[in-house]
Amino acid sequence: FGGMENPRLTFLTPTVIAGDRSLVSLIAHELAHSWSGNLVTNSDWNHFWLNEGFTSYVENRLVEALFGSRQADMERVLSERSLALELPELAPADQLLVLDLADRDPDDGMNAVAYDKGHWLLRTMEQRYGRPAFDTFLRGWFDRGAFASASTEDFLQYWRQTLLRERPDRFSEAEMQQWLHQPGVPAHAQSAQSAAFDAVDAARAAWLQDPTTTLPTGDWSTHEWLRFLDGLPDDLPNARMAELDQAFGLSGHGNAEIAFQWYVKAIRSGYVAARPSLADFLQRIGRRKFVLPLYQELAKRGGDDLVFARSTYATARAHYHPITRSSVDPVLN
């Protein structure tokens, strides 16, 4: 996992050490758990979103306060993109914020929905009510529920007594129920926008159309690199992949987030030159967020890719956390 919010002793994965402090939002996330999760705690795992949705929202507010709205906007776009990619892989019942985990493993509810959809709901409420009113609501939630457990019904009762009563025209009961109890994301949800990402998209399009175009990567942040790589076609010719690799050292990149996104594209495009670095990454990194999707991508392609995946996993498996092993084992049979 990325981190664990033990009070006053946060555990963090080494993969957040990128050398440029670009991944410190994870630290903000774990610190935010001092309020959402550790001060006010979900009463059971059906209400996991009360821990993680609130924490993801506070994390983004901290990023905005520390680094500005430009970075916060980019991280919100990436969050929504992550959710959009995961939703089609989930059963409708697992796309709800309020889950029914009766007779199920609570781990089944630990997906992007609690984090990203929960964050999106709270951001929508902030947009509808205005930040000052929503901040008052948020402080009240933590004050009234301090050192206690809470359910979604507790959240709804507090919302009905405060914001809904004071501003009934801003966010309806029907809309709230849709966010909580319907799969997917409501059609009225306002997507995050990033001018920085618009510029990255334009640069990528120009480079794909004209190989002589110079990419303006000099001051790109980690988030801009992630946007660039995510938008590359999955069938990019090996010559173009090699051009990027040689110019920017993407195979073996020291930033785990960038390396992961690059390896996904390398697998999908059949860029086997990245395999030695990919094998090293899988044998050195144990974070399930990275290793599970990479093994899944290799398994999808089958053939030599599956042989490579099984060989690499045989070497790396003993070093993985048991939860990671239990996730990867069925992927590779």
pLDDT score, position 9: 86
pLDDT score, position 6: 83
- Active-site annotation holds for 295: no
Catalytic residue of the set 115, 295, 313, 320: 115
Q: Which of 149, 181, 213 delimits the end of a domain?
A: 181
Do 145 and 60 lie in a common domain?
Answer: yes
Helix spans in 253-302 (H)? 256-269, 275-284, 288-301
Do 163 and 252 lie in a common domain?
Answer: no
At 254 the three-state DSSP class reads coil
pLDDT score, position 110: 84
For residue 265, how many other CB atoms are within 10 A of its CB? 21
- Domain count for the chain, please give it: 2
pLDDT score, position 211: 84
pLDDT score, position 19: 85
Q: Which domain holds residue 236?
A: 232-328
Do 237 and 91 lie in a common domain?
Answer: no
pLDDT score, position 155: 98
Do 156 and 51 lie in a common domain?
Answer: yes
DSSP 221-243: -HHHHHHHHHTS-TT--HHHHHH
Tokens of 143: 């004050």
Helices (H) and strands (E) in the chain, counts: 17, 4
Q: Is residue 296 part of a domain?
A: yes
- Active-site annotation holds for 30: yes
Do 18 and 143 lie in a common domain?
Answer: yes
Q: What is the pLDDT along the chain (333 residues), one digit of tens a residue?
A: 788 888 888 898 899 888 888 888 999 999 999 999 999 999 999 999 999 999 999 999 999 999 999 999 999 999 999 999 999 999 999 999 999 999 898 887 789 999 999 999 999 999 999 999 999 999 999 999 999 999 999 999 999 999 999 999 999 999 999 999 999 999 999 999 999 999 999 999 999 999 878 999 999 999 999 999 999 999 999 999 999 999 999 999 999 999 999 999 999 999 999 999 999 999 999 999 999 999 999 999 999 999 999 999 999 999 999 999 999 999 998
Q: Which of 147, 163, 181 delimits the end of a domain?
A: 181
- Global confidence as pTM: 0.92
Q: How far apart are the first and last CA of the chain?
A: 23
- Phi/psi at 12 (5° precision): -130, 145
CA distance 7 to 10: 7
Catalytic residue of the set 30, 52, 224, 257: 30
CA distance 324 to 289: 9
Q: Which of 163, 181, 199 delimits the end of a domain?
A: 181
Do 237 and 324 lie in a common domain?
Answer: yes
Do 28 and 155 lie in a common domain?
Answer: yes
Return the H-helix or E-strand segment holding 40: strand 40-42
Do 118 and 238 lie in a common domain?
Answer: no
